[in-house]
A and B are shown apart, each in its own frame.
Chain A
Amino acid sequence: QIQLVQSGPELKKPGESVKISCKASGYTFTDYAMHWVKQVPGKGLKWMGWINTYTGKPTYADDFKGRFVFSLEASASTANLQISNLKNEDTANVFCARNGRKTNSGAFDFWGPGTMVTVSS
């Protein structure tokens, strides 16, 4: 069965970096794009961008350009998100989500459980 397993919660100080992983199983990893979605506790969902799991090319939403890096370990069917120079406003639950169509033109049919990132001094 298809699963996305994310790394555990993180507690960081402002200015530090964090790397979140999303390991996929149950399907061919390189056939489907991986998206990243942010949710501040008690708030709505915000799209961060996506990575082409075949070519490794990332696309970032405007608010997530500069300190955010999407990467792959394709041999391990894993997508990663690194956030550098963390700020208090990065405190959120971050989800990876699979695009449900091979053309990356679909809805998000499978989601990871989320990784809670807390930034606090």
Chain B
Amino acid sequence: DIQMTQSPSSMSASLGDTVTITCLASQDIGNYLSWYQQKPGKSPKLMIYGATNLEDGVPSRFSGSRSGSDYSLTINSLGYDDEGIYHCHQYYEYPDTFGAGTKLELK
């Protein structure tokens, strides 16, 4: 199975900051990587697909990038609504696998 190593597991940032969350894939996954935001008691919400594509309706403050086997989600101009848990997901091959999640809190 493809392992997705996500870091950090948690982080705290201030309003207006820029934050980056990373997932390292244990083998090639092409650009078959998505990012989800999950609020407490809610289902995940698709933010980025294909490593770099912004889902419709997602603010342009969110962006995805890739450098080799490292995939990153960057959030600019952090706002209170950005708090939550972020998950990466590889769908290159079965079984699909997820990172362990990053809990983002605002100071």
Q: Which of A35, A46, A107 contacts B46, CB < 8 Å? A: A107
Write out, one digit per residue, whether chain B residues 87-107 have a CB within 8 A of any chain A CB (1) or not (0). Answer: 101010011111111000000
Given the known A-B contacts A44-B100, A100-B49, are A108 and B95 also in contact in the complex, defined by CB atoms under 8 Å? no
The smallest beta-carbon distance between B101 and chain A, in angstroms, is: 5
Write out, one digit per residue, whether chain A residues 60-103 have a CB within 8 A of any chain B CB (1) or not (0). Answer: 01100000000000000000000000000000000101001000
With a cutoff of 8 Å between Cβ atoms, the chain A residues found around residue B42 in the complex are 113
With a cutoff of 8 Å between Cβ atoms, the chain B residues found around residue A62 in the complex are 95
Write out, one digit per residue, whether chain B residues 17-51 have a CB within 8 A of any chain A CB (1) or not (0). Answer: 00000000000000010101000001111100110
Flag if B101 contacts A44 (CB, 8 Å). yes
A15 part of interface (Cβ distance < 8 Å) = no
Bound complex: CA of A62 vs CA of B95, how far in Å? 8
In the complex, how many residue pairs between chain A and chain B have their CB atoms under 8 Å apart? 52
Flag if A111 contacts B45 (CB, 8 Å). yes
A105 part of interface (Cβ distance < 8 Å) = yes
Bound complex: CA of A59 vs CA of B96, how far in Å? 12
Flag if B99 contacts A109 (CB, 8 Å). no
Given the known A-B contacts A47-B95, A47-B96, A100-B49, are A107 and B44 also in contact in the complex, defined by CB atoms under 8 Å? no
| Chain A CB within 10 A, most for which of B43, B50, B87, B95 | B43
Given the known A-B contacts A61-B94, A62-B95, A108-B34, are A44 and B46 also in contact in the complex, defined by CB atoms under 8 Å? no
